[in-house]
Structure 1
Amino acid sequence: MELVTPEIGLVFWTTVSFLILFFLLAKFAWKPIMKAIDERERSIEDALLKADAAKEEMSRLTNENEALLKQARAERDQILAEARKLKEQIVAEARTTAQTEGARMLELARIEINNQKALALTDVKNQVAALSLEIAEKVLRKEFEDGSKQDALVADLLKEVKLK
């Protein structure tokens, strides 16, 4: 039973050595250990506070970035709308100008065609008149080769003419 129940001397010396060790630890090691633990606890708290601050800053920056993106998208949409409007206006102006120019060119072509037609008709009339005169002259020469026919024609013409 010796193994189960310790002797009084062993208990005494164990207690004395424990108290000496406790005193030495309390005197020399306890304060630095507690100080290190306190510093570690403070550094962890500071790190947590800084992490929270960084998280809040990231949240704020994210919100600002989203606001800037919304603003940029709105500006982009406005610029695109203005560009479309300007394109439509330019196309409409070009179409109007082309129609006006086309109508003007058609009118000039009509006038030119009418002028050329009038010139052609005048030329044809002149040629017909010249041919008619030539034919009449040839016919009259043939008719008037004989002098008696000329006298008869002059007499007939004088009968028709009435003096007033």
Structure 2
Amino acid sequence: MDLITPEVGLIFWQTIVFLILMIILAKFAWKPILGAVRTREDSINQALDSAEDARKEMQNLKADNEKALQEARAERDEILKEARELKQKMIAEAEGEAQQKADVIVSKAKESIEREKRAAMADIKNQVATLSVEIAEKVIGKELSTEEKQHQMIDKMLKEATLN
């Protein structure tokens, strides 16, 4: 028997065995194998769809996050702007109050100075009057030291009094 040249009978039986094997495989093995391949293909397609959905969801979330971030920045800027305006307003009010208080203090100081000035002037007048009286007493005491000088002074005053 020569293995290189097959005989017709051998080819016939190999074909029949092959066909029987194909029928058995088709009936018992191909359906489960193809079913498993289809199931695997479906699961892969579902995984791809899920991945695509997840990618889209991530893009949406990223867009939402970006939008929220922009809104937060805008809100932060608005809050900072309001804080600056409030600060400026408070500074202006404080300056106004300080100016009013300074004006009141200056006014009170001027009034106090004026009172002190009047009091000093009155004190000076009193001292001048006291000194004048003391000087006049001394001068009159010397001028009227004799009785004759006293009579002359009385006569002089009477003449001046009648003239007015």
TM-score with structure 2 setting the length: 0.86
Task: Trace 1:124-139 onto structure 2 (pairs within 5 A).
Answer: 124-139=124-139
Cα distance in structure 2, aligned partners of 1:38 and 1:50: 18
Post-superposition shift, 1:110?
0.4
What is the aligned residue count? 164
Q: Which residue of 2 aligns with 1:31?
A: 31
Q: Which amino acid in structure 2 is aligned with residue 120 of structure 1?
A: A
User: Which residue number corresponds to residue 81 of structure 2?
Assistant: 81
Deviation, structure 1 residue 108: 1.3
Residue 119 of structure 1 deviates from its aligned partner by: 0.7
Long gaps (5+) in structure 1: none
Structure 2: which 5+ runs fail to align?
none
Work out the CA distance in 1 between the residues paired with 2:153 and 2:61.
122
Q: Deviations over 1:91-137 (max 9, x none)?
A: 10110111112112101110110111111111111011111101210
Instruction: Give the drift of 1:88.
Output: 0.6
Deviations 1:37-89 (A, max 9, x none): 11111111111112112211221222122112211211221121111111111
> Which is worse superposed, 13-22 or 86-95?
13-22
Match of 1:44 in 2: 44
**1:109-120 to 2 correspondence within 5 Å?**
109-120=109-120
| Cα distance in 2 between the residues matched to 1:27 and 1:162 | 169
The Cα shift of 1:9 comes to: 5.0
Question: How far, CA to CA, are the matches of 1:40 and 1:160 in structure 2?
Answer: 148
State the distance in 1 between where 2:117 and 2:160 align: 41
The RMSD of aligned alpha carbons is 2.3
TM-superposition CA deviations, 1:20-41 (whole Å, max 9, x none): 3222211110100001111111
Out of 122-131 and 2-11, give the one that drifted further: 2-11
* In structure 2, C-alpha distance between the alignment counterparts of 1:33 and 1:160, rounded to whole Å: 158
Q: Partners in 2 of 1:159 and 1:28 — Cα distance?
A: 170
SS of 2:163's equivalent?
Answer: coil
Moved more, 102-111 or 138-147: 138-147
Separation (CA, whole Å) in 2 of partners of 1:98 and 1:58: 58
Mapping of residues 1-164 of structure 1, within 5 Å: 2=2, 4-158=4-158, 160=160, 162-163=162-163
Which amino acid in 2 is paired with 1:147?
E
